[in-house]
Homo-oligomer: A and B are copies of this chain.
């Protein structure tokens, strides 16, 4: 009970502010890479960047499900997705190019990498997930914060947003049929992503 109260405390508000700062730092890193790449290739690899901070309710739920105390310490130690950034790329190649460039930076530490593009989830979900640690520069100290980064193409993102809507519905009359149909769309999507990338490479190859 007094655990839950901790999520209304000053130290919780401070921690959330730090996560917001971590999001800003990672966003800037991607904006810099986008700027550099645009210059070299005359097109933007990044179509959009979205970020979100996990809500107090979701944090509470997740800690409780994991049988962890609802404290700031438990959050920092155990939750990797309080700060989340989604980078929507134009092509599959851009996803890997951006991930590699970010991970090669000397102030970034990779904590975890899951490649759901190589190995899609059973429902058809594709994306590249990274968990990294990034320094934020506060007035008096440099602090390392964790951020979850999801990199995906426009097509993957569109698919994921539709799949997400399905998950929020309760009455599941013909859910299985819809799931099958969604999975089929995921496969057509993946095929399309590959063909569009191929076309892009052919176009880039021209003088």
| A positions within 8 Å CB-CB of B | 13-14, 17, 20-21, 24-25, 27-29, 31-33, 35-39, 43, 48, 90, 97, 101, 104-107, 136-140, 142, 154-155, 158-159, 161-162, 165-166, 169-174, 177-178, 181-182, 184-185, 188-189, 191-192, 195-196, 198-200, 202-203, 206-207
Contacts and interface: CB of A to CB of B under 8 A. Distances in A.
Contacts of A185: 192, 195-196, 199
Given A28-B28, A161-B90, A185-B195, A203 B36 contact: no
24 contacts: A17-B38, A17-B39, A20-B35, A21-B35, A24-B31, A24-B35, A25-B28, A29-B137, A33-B139, A36-B138, A43-B165, A90-B158, A105-B142, A169-B203, A172-B206, A178-B202, A178-B203, A181-B195, A181-B202, A185-B192, A185-B199, A188-B192, A188-B195, A189-B192
A181 B198 CA distance: 10
How many chain copies does the complex carry?
4
B178 A199 contact: yes
A140 B33 CA distance: 10
Nearest to A29: B137
